């Protein structure tokens, strides 16, 4: 049986699953029957090079408009090829009311003229008020867009953006029912306020000086990842299960969280955290199951300070549910102070720990470090895996070699559990 012998309803169903703009254009040329059936398409996607060789010197604005106008009820529109504000406005005037998914590569970060556009590409999106998912790439958000509220919008993703505080805060306020918010690779933010009662998943990645402040009110938040903030306030956290805080450019000065009773995974990364912020975060995360710790230094000001001593017994008594512990450099050194293991009760045990990943960077205090490694094995009754990563060590050649030999001997004695990377 050939495809031409299929009933109209089956042909329409098959063709409705084609979304690539070029494929739709080719199908449009097959026959009048195929052309009429393409009106049942629900999704259109125009790739970056979709119109490298346009027919009759038509630009992408005209071609996309013609294809959008041929569809009876378009639900998804993805455009990565270049377009103008007027082109976008014309497409959304036709398809805006039916769209539930819109993804656009805006490509206006380096265009100074975009500031004076009226309406701007961002303003045009307001015509698609029934959207459920909106994804924007390479967008300039320096003016408050002329939008009403997107009441149906559940997912907002902005990747690669230049932002102004007032504008991005206004954009977030116009999406009151979001469950997922992603702002990735964004610059220009100094202070951001998010108040979203239904938000469950939030990823914020700000680059620049690393001195942004964040206030997040989201009583249903379950997963939060923040990069580039120095001040973080999240008062409602009873549902928070996954938390990641990092700052690769600046310092983490202050964190203010509610009770973290549901927290399972905590990741702390950065060059420098204030010691009070480290201690508070570890204290709040007493029920955490997976802890990743890669903070290089502490200190409240410009001077970088090493970690203070962290009592080995107190730490594990304070985190009884810990299953996986990933320790990098400074944290491991803090647990290896000579007073940490002087007085250990006979009934002390690390009850749940199953996996430890330790990154060692220095041969200093080698004896204490070996003692800590041995203690993890001795008291971690359920420990199944210990991975020791040895980076290029700073220090004299002999001391580094001696320490490495000690670790190799330790690994040989417990080779069923330990491996070296």
Q: What is the pLDDT of residues 272-325, one digit of tens each?
A: 999 999 999 999 999 999 999 999 999 877 788 888 889 899 999 999 999 999
Cα of first residue to Cα of last residue in the chain, in angstroms, is: 60
At 33 the three-state DSSP class reads: helix
Lowest mean pLDDT segment, chosen from 78-82, 191-195, 365-369: 365-369
The structure tokens listed for 50 are 């979709």
Contact 177, 151 (CB under 8 A): yes
Please name which of 236, 224, 220, 215 lies closest in space to residue 266, comparing C-alpha atoms: 224
Higher pLDDT, residue 54 or 81:
81
d(CA 415, CA 421) in angstroms, rounded, equals 13
Higher pLDDT, residue 112 or 186:
186
Beta carbons within 10 angstroms of residue 397's beta carbon: 9
Please name which of 129, 180, 179, 182 lies closest in space to residue 151, comparing C-alpha atoms: 129
Altogether, the residues listed in the chain come to a count of 421
What does the mean pLDDT of the chain come to? 86
Give residue 31's pLDDT: 46
What's 72's DSSP letter? S
pLDDT in tens, 272-287: 999 999 999 999 999 9
Residue 378 has pLDDT above 60, yes or no: yes
At 139 the three-state DSSP class reads: strand
The structure tokens listed for 103 are 């993804």
User: Cα dihedral sign for 406, 407, 411, 412?
Assistant: negative
The structure tokens listed for 324 are 């996986």
- Tell me the range of 6-10, 44-48, 235-239, 394-398 where mean pLDDT is highest: 235-239
Lowest mean pLDDT segment, chosen from 18-32, 56-70, 136-150, 344-358: 18-32
Task: State the pLDDT confidence band at 4, using cuts at 50, 70 and 90.
Answer: low
d(CA 351, CA 383) in angstroms, rounded, equals 9
- Contacts within 8 Å (CB) and 24+ apart, 194-197: 194/218, 196/172
Q: CA 254, 258, 260, 261: dihedral to nearest 10 degrees?
A: 160
């Amino acid at each position: 049986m050939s495809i031409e012998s299929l009933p109209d309803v089956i042909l329409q169903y098959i063709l409705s699953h084609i979304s690539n703009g070029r494929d739709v254009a080719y199908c449009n040329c097959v026959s009048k029957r195929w052309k009429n059936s393409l009106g049942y398409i629900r999704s259109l996607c125009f790739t970056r090079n979709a119109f490298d060789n346009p027919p009759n010197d038509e630009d992408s604005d005209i071609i996309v408009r013609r294809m959008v106008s041929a569809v009876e009820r378009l639900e998804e529109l993805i455009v990565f090829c270049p377009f103008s504000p007027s082109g976008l406005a014309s497409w959304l005037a036709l398809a805006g009311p039916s769209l539930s998914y819109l993804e656009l590569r805006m490509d206006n970060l380096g265009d100074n003229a975009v500031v004076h556009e009226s309406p701007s590409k961002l303003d045009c999106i307001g015509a698609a008020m029934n959207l459920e998912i909106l994804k924007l790439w390479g967008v300039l958000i320096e003016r408050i867009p002329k939008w009403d509220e997107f009441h149906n919008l559940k997912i907002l993703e902005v990747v690669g953006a230049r932002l102004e505080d007032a504008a991005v805060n206004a954009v977030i306020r116009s999406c009151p029912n979001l469950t997922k918010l992603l702002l990735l690779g964004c610059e220009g933010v100094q202070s951001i306020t998010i108040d979203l009662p239904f938000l469950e998943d939030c990823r914020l990645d700000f680059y620049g000086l690393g001195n942004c402040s964040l206030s997040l009110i989201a009583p249903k938040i379950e997963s939060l990842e923040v990069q580039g903030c120095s001040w973080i306030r999240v008062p409602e956290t009873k549902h928070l299960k996954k938390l990641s805080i990092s700052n690769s450019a600046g310092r983490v000065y202050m964190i203010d969280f509610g009770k973290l009773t549901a927290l399972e995974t905590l990741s702390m990364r950065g060059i420098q955290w204030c010691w009070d912020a480290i201690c508070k975060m570890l204290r709040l995360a007493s029920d955490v199951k997976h802890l990743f710790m890669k903070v290089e230094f502490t200190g409240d000001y410009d001077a970088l300070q090493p970690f203070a001593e962290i009592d080995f017994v107190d730490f594990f008594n304070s985190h009884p549910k810990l299953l996986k512990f990933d320790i990098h450099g400074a944290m491991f050194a803090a647990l290896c102070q000579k007073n940490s293991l002087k007085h250990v009760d006979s009934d002390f045990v690390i009850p749940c720990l199953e996996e430890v990943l330790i990154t060692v960077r220095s041969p200093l205090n080698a004896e204490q470090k070996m003692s800590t490694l041995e203690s993890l094995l001795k008291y971690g009754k359920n420990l199944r895996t210990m991975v020791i990563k040895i980076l290029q060590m700073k220090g004299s050649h002999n001391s580094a070699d001696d320490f490495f030999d000690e670790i190799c001997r330790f690994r040989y004695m417990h080779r069923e559990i330990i491996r070296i990377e």
